[in-house]
Amino acid sequence: MSKPLTFGSLFAGIGGFDLGFERAGMVCKWQVEIDDYANRVLRKHWPDVRRWSDVRTWPQPDTERVDIICGGFPCQDISYAGRGAGLEGERSGLFFEAVRVVRELRPKAVVLENVAALLTRGLDTVLGTLAEIGYDAEWHCIPAAAVGAPHIRDRVFVLGWNTNSINDHSLKKRDQKNTITRGIGSGCDTANSPVLADATRGGLQRSHKPASSATSTRKNRQLQPARGSSGIGGWWATEPDVGRVADGVPRRVDRLRGLGNAVVPQVAEYVGRMVAERLGQ
């Protein structure tokens, strides 16, 4: 049996990417996150994983090299709700720090995530910059609704392949199973994708079954299917049980911010499985 793929997580937040990639069979080796509350969440669920607080001073001389680097870099300057500074902004400009880390560690693949506005506010720069450091990139907008969530949450995923690590045949492979499609253009048009959500069914048209607890590296974080259902579409409850809280929700603002910034784990798993397949795992 081949060794599992390893990954490092930039802008880890509360661990959405990390949880999804673990469910796809990968192993997290390090996380980089500056927010104090998010780091408390990461310490609770990944107690044995090395963490660093500032992407601008990562990697360190003893940083472990990984197969994949993932990260949802800040969206504040890219989002249409912001001032539109784009990748020139102080926060979204941390994309270039992520590129520096990738250039130094040279993983087989890099997976980046951001809001849908990236398609018109910097995707050309993202692709060009990755190409400059030797990564052939492709992208697609995948909403959370594509994995059965009761909300849209459009997000762009950019996959960059190290041209020295992936053979030409694999890079050029394009078939109906591949959701990530080069040249998608502007907007988040997923209606014609054969593997994304059917709105009338609330799940994937072709879905993977959730990883069993036997294959999960951390059983206590395995998300179980909803009652009487199976597959990715069954992970969501359209009306989740939320009881009354007399004294409020502890650290409510921190929790909401963490959830708002997080990558949806089910989408991350779906992307992670495609990355693993491309890398021959």
Residue at token pair 């199976």: 230
What is the DSSP annotation of 5-23?
PEEEEES-TTSHHHHHHHH
In this structure, the number of other CB atoms found within 10 A of the CB of residue 136 comes to 17
| Known catalytic membership, residue 141 | no
What's the helix, strand, coil split of the chain in %, to 5? 35, 15, 50
Q: How far is CA 129 from the centre of its chain?
A: 19
Start-end of H helices in 114-251: 123-132, 168-172
CA distances from 71 to 17, 193, 196, 241 (A): 7, 24, 22, 31
- Of 28, 70, 75, 141, which one is the catalytic site residue? 75
Question: Active-site residue numbers?
Answer: 75
